[in-house]
Structure 1
Amino acid sequence: MSSYVTASELIAAPDGNHLDLATALAATPLGLVQNPVFFTGVLSRPDIAAAGMLAVADVAASRYADAGLMGRLANLDPVVTASGDRLRFESFSACNGVHARLDLLPEALGSGQVGFGTTNVDINQPLRTALARVHRDQALHLSVGKGELRASSLIETHVERKVNLPERWIRGLAEVPALTEAMTLAGQLTGATLAGFLADLPRSAPPGPNVYLVPSTPRWRQMNRRLPGAIPLTGAGRLRGCERIARQAQTLTVYIAPNDTTAWVFDLPGARFTLVLSPDPYRGFSGEGTLLMQLTRNDTAAHGQRLLAALDWSPTVDKADLALRTDMTPGETAAGLAWLAGAGWLGYDLSETAWFHRELPIDAHKVLRRHPRLTAAHKLLEDGAVTRTPAGWSVSGSHDNHYAVTTTAPDSNGNPRLRCQCAWELEHSGTRGPCKHILAITIALRSA
């Protein structure tokens, strides 16, 4: 846990508005730093920056499903990563099914110098009200962290607000990059066709209906059933998270993952705004399980640590170049990247087809150990619940239940595919990662 020593605020001054964003405990190249300064300078497009930050904050304050979670997860502060030449602001909806990211690119940051590190920023209600009034012709000086507070005593705090980064967010920050890396281009809109598409979106209460978009000329068609090549927009109301930046959007590029996760990338002057939507409004990213099979390997941590030393807070990380510089095989690199992503240390930029270094101020090892399904799988092994049978394996569960796990055709890497008869596998058929029984068997096989 960490705290802000002041509140974020927007101050009117003779030389223009001054936007001071308060920072919390941060992971930086120098280690953990309390309330660091990541950026200070005059923005070239203050209207874009203000609208984008509000859009990220809007998503953090929104709930599209799971009403019971709102009380625990409301008012969460966006995560900001400074990468030396750009700033990235990220958040999740309270239901964890929508991820938002604003990238303020070098051309938006003017002559300001960007530091390196990751932390939370305080975007409070008074600041939101002030940001909504920022115009393009107003000079806006942005400070991410206040310099004069670096020497302040942490005991003499003016504002004591706890910063909560729940494990749902941490696991979501791991899953979204893994899902987006596997995406392919689905369609693109520009100019008047983009404006028309956004105007035609359903305006019902969230999460909204499920629609399917058929890319066509001059406008995309909306269907209530899926046709070949159609783009799924499940819970269409969730795309309303782009409303703050819609007027400035120049291009919308849509990507889709094999499990129907979609990404909607809006190109803005000097910035990009990305919304990633889960395949179903009632499906949070924290439970996707994309990385679980890689994390069952005994060597993932070792490979991840080797890669971590080579990341160097780079704004873009090329996987092939990283493997070459570390002299690691493609398999070792994939395992290491999975471990880094699982710890929240990597994001993925669809527009640049590259990873970027993000390092959350958390105990990464603890997060990985506490992944529910991995924890349950290790518990099954500790309890001796996995036994070999002539047909495959049997895993004993609670209430004297026994689950049969059989082997199917091997995957592209020659590894055997496992099929379980438990309720999780029967419901999801492998679309949300393996169940704990398959994980336990995989761990046992790799250990052997």
Structure 2
Amino acid sequence: MTNLVGASRFSTLDAEPSLELETGLGLTPLGPIDHPQFFSGLVTRPDVTAAGILTVADVSTTTYLDLSALAATRDPVVTASGDRIRFESFSGCNGVYAVYDLLADGIASGEIAFGTTNVDVNQPLRTALAALPRHELMHLAVGPDALRMSTLAETHEERKVELPERWVRGFAEVPAVLAGMSVVAEATGPQAMTFLAGLPRGAPGPAVGVVAGPRGPRITAAGSPGSATLAGTARLTSLRRVMRHIRRLTVWAHESGASAWVAEVDGGRITLAMTPQPYRGFSGEGQLLTGLARASVVGAGAGAGAGSGSGAAFRVLEQLAWEPVIDPGLLAAETGLTAAEVSGAVSVLAASGKVGYDLSCGAYFHREVPFDSDAAERDHPRLRAARELVAAGSVERTADGVRVGGEGTQSHWVRFGSGDATCTCRWFIRYAGSRGPCSHILAARLYMAGLT
């Protein structure tokens, strides 16, 4: 998978559940470049870089409900952002998101350019990476059509492949989850090794809580106050690949029960983020819905005139150039949009997978995949249902709250308190907002904002 803004041949969405991308003239922050090379150079720690790439590849081949079931996809998305190279993947069950950031101090020679591609990591390359010693020279080259790894003895080249559409849906949800996380515990390298080595290995493994302890993270009961939920201990097994290289481990938690684990290594870091339950995939979490509804409220969607670039999302998109850190204030100044419009536009772009979130930087970043302006509606039926409820006149504000739906038992009540909104529908009673707002809460928000 490769996509370059301004390509002479346009990226397309296949009828099959995958994305097909074609290369051509690429627009970078430095100007247009024909078939640009994203990176070509040596890395400072070949063994660490190899372990980082393999960690991301391991996740993409694993289904954590059944470790014996290998996923068909093992194709990390690779993004060069000028100061780092980012490898990303999802597990076969879509419940674990993996990232390896190869940072500038992990590069011994060569300049990092700009671009996004998707390549296969097949068994011969995996075998070569796994056997790479610390002092072996490793040359890495990433371009729009392939990834190439070379040592003095051998060269492996992997060609670009198509990007699974479910990964795009996962990319859409992950930023909203990560942006709402906070740090729960930290560990030194030796503490992290002890913690990871002691986790149960069976699939998917027990659900446990993790809290800060005097000697690093410690296990407690799942759901304990102040803990991060590790729902399925087997979902951290891929970090054992880099266990001996970890210098620091940071544990993050989201109120929904999602968690993230950031391992700092020489010249980079590895992040594993996971859903609240092993059987839940990121593509169905629904945390993006609030941002998309807010985008509708402030008019930050693609809009009716999006095809001509008049929508706020298109105006923001025009300013993105593989930034590793997106500055909302700078975007507002460059586009003339308000802060709320920029925030909403970022949510719309995230719905197409064009924007990710970096926990360690606390900021959004740009990756280049095709922008599908209909993705927000097509992939989020609750938002579509909410618009239909408002358009049908099925929302009414009363002294008791907002009534959504028909008469009597067919209606539901939405109430806005000091915290999040609540609803009387079965969806909300079952999930209590942990999988995003229900269609009735979304309809109430749209109605109260005066949208029809």
Same fold (TM over 0.5): yes
Aligned pair in 2 of structure 1 residues 432, 95: CA closer, same or farther (>3 Å)? same
**Could you list the per-position Cα deviations for residues 112-136 of structure 1 after superposition, in whole angstroms to 9, with x for gaps in the alignment?**
1222122211211222122211111
**Mapped partners of 1:147, 1:174: distance in 2:** 24
Contact residue 108 and residue 270 of structure 1 kept, 8 A: yes
CA positional deviation for 1:366: 3.1
Q: 1 CA distance for matches of 2:214 and 2:331?
A: 41
For 1:350, give the aligned amino acid.
L
**Which structure's relative contact order is higher, taking Cα pairs within 8 Å and 6+ residues apart?**
1
One-letter amino acid of the counterpart of residue 194, structure 1: A
| CA contact 2:101–2:268 (8 Å) conserved in 1 | yes
- Pair 1:438 & 2:438 matched: no
* Matches of 1:320 and 1:286, distance apart in 2: 29
1:369 to 374, 377, 382: 377
Q: Are the counterparts in 2 of residues 25 and 34 from structure 1 also a CA contact under 8 Å?
A: no
2:125 counterpart of 1:127 = yes
Sort the Cα spacing of 1:306 and 1:280 in 2 relative to 1 into closer, same or farther, 3 A.
Answer: same
1:306-345 to 2 correspondences below 5 Å: 306-345=315-354
Percent sequence identity over matched residues? 40
Following superposition of structure 1 onto structure 2, how do residues 91-130 of structure 1 map, counting pairs within 5 Å? 91-130=89-128
**Which segment is superposed worse, 117-126 or 212-221?**
212-221
Q: Which runs of 4+ in 1 moved over 6 A?
A: 30-35, 146-149, 158-161
Aligned residues of 1:66 and 1:282 also touching (Cα < 8 A): no
Q: Which moved more, 1:76-85 or 1:431-440?
A: 431-440
Q: Distance in 2 between matches of 1:219 and 1:439?
A: 41
> CA shift at 1:160, angstroms?
9.2
Q: 1:366 to 1:226 in 2, by over 3 A?
A: closer
- Corresponding residue of 1:40: 40
Are the counterparts in 1 of residues 120 and 161 from structure 2 also a CA contact under 8 Å? no
Task: Tell me by how many angstroms 1:326 deviates.
Answer: 4.0
Structure 1: 5+ residue stretches without partners: 4-22, 150-157, 412-416
TM-score, length of structure 2 as denominator length: 0.80
Of 428, 432, 445, which aligns to 1:429?
Answer: 432
Question: Who is 1:414 aligned against?
Answer: none
Q: Which amino acid in 2 is paired with 1:39?
A: F
Secondary structure in structure 1 of the residue aligned to 2:47: helix
When the two structures are superposed, what TM-score results if normalisation uses the length of structure 1? 0.80
Query: CA contact under 8 A between 1:85 and 1:106: conserved in structure 2?
Result: yes
Q: How many residues align?
A: 408
One-letter amino acid of the structure 2 residue matched with residue 233 of structure 1: L
Q: 1:212 to 1:375 in 2, by over 3 A?
A: closer
Conservation of the 8 A alpha-carbon contact between 1:385 and 1:396? no
> In 1, Cα distance between the equivalents of 2:416 and 2:374?
33
Once the two structures are superposed, the pairs formed by residues 291-310 of structure 1 within 5 Å of their partners are 291-296=288-293, 297=296, 299-301=299-301, 302-310=311-319
Q: Does 1:278 align with 2:275?
A: yes
Q: Does 1:78 align with 2:76?
A: yes
Residue identity in the other structure for 2:341:
E
Q: Which residue of 250, 254, 258 corresponds with 1:253?
A: 250
The Cα of 1:76 is off from its aligned counterpart by 4.0
Q: CA deviation at 1:437?
A: 3.4
* CA positional deviation for 1:273: 0.4
Does residue 64 in structure 1 map to residue 64 in structure 2?
A: yes
| CA–CA separation in structure 2 for the residues paired with 1:198 and 1:359 | 34
**Deviation string, structure 1 residues 27-53 (Cα, Å, up to 9, x no partner):** 953699998632111222111111111
Q: Which runs of 5+ in 2 are unaligned?
A: 4-19, 148-156, 302-310
Q: Shift of the alpha carbon at 1:2?
A: 8.1
C-alpha contact (below 8 Å) 1:25/1:33 kept by paired residues: no
Shift of 1:373: 2.0
Question: Which residue is 1:268 aligned to?
Answer: 265
Q: Secondary structure at the residue paired with 2:62?
A: coil
Distance change in 2, residues 1:294/1:196 (3 Å): closer
Q: Aligned-pair distance for 1:271?
A: 0.9
Amino acid aligned to 1:74: A
CA RMSD after TM alignment: 3.4
SS in 1 for 2:213: coil
Q: Is the 8 A contact 2:75 2:120 kept in 1?
A: yes
- Give the Cα–Cα distance (whole angstroms) in 2 for the partners of residues 431 and 285 of structure 1: 12
Going from structure 1 to structure 2, the CA distance change for 1:57 and 1:226 (only over 3 Å counts) comes to same
Instruction: Answer yes or no: is the 8 Å Cα contact 2:245–2:265 preserved in 1.
Output: yes
1:152 equivalent in structure 2: none
Q: CA deviation at 1:80?
A: 0.8
User: Is contact 1:78-1:90 (8 Å) kept?
Assistant: yes
- 1:138/1:146 CA distance change after superposition, 3 Å: farther
Asked if 1 retains the 8 angstrom alpha-carbon contact of 2:118 and 2:163, the reply is no
Inter-CA distance 228–332: structure 2 relative to 1 (3 Å threshold): same
Name the structure 1 match of 2:162.
163
**Correspondence 1:405 to 2:430:** no
Q: Give the Cα–Cα distance (whole angstroms) in 2 for the partners of residues 212 and 393 of structure 1.
A: 38
Whole-angstrom distance in 2 between the partners of 1:312 and 1:132: 33
Contact 2:300 2:342 in 1 (8 A): no
Q: Give the letter aligned to residue 263 of structure 1.
A: A
Does structure 2 conserve the Cα–Cα contact (< 8 Å) formed by 1:263 and 1:276?
A: yes
Taking structure 1 as reference, are residues 111 and 213 closer, same or farther at Cα in structure 2, changes over 3 Å only?
Answer: same
CA contact (8 A) 2:85 2:102 kept: yes
| C-alpha displacement of 1:275 | 0.4
Answer yes or no: is the 8 Å Cα contact 1:37–1:147 preserved in 2. no
Contact 1:40–1:113, Cα closer than 8 Å, also in 2: yes
401 and 74 in structure 1: CA distance in 2 versus 1, 3 angstrom threshold: farther
2:403 counterpart residue number = 393
Which whole-Å deviations, capped at 9, do the CAs of 1:77-120 have from their partners, x for residues lacking one? 11111101211000011111110000001122222122212221
Larger mean Cα displacement after TM superposition, 32-41 or 95-104: 32-41
SS at 2:318 equivalent:
helix
What is the correspondence of 1:189-200 to structure 2 with a 5 Å cutoff?
Answer: 189-200=187-198
CA change 1:219–1:345 in 2 (3 A) is closer
Aligned partners of 1:76 and 1:164 also within 8 Å: no
- SS of the residue corresponding to residue 241 of structure 2 reads coil
The aligned residue for residue 233 of structure 2 is 236
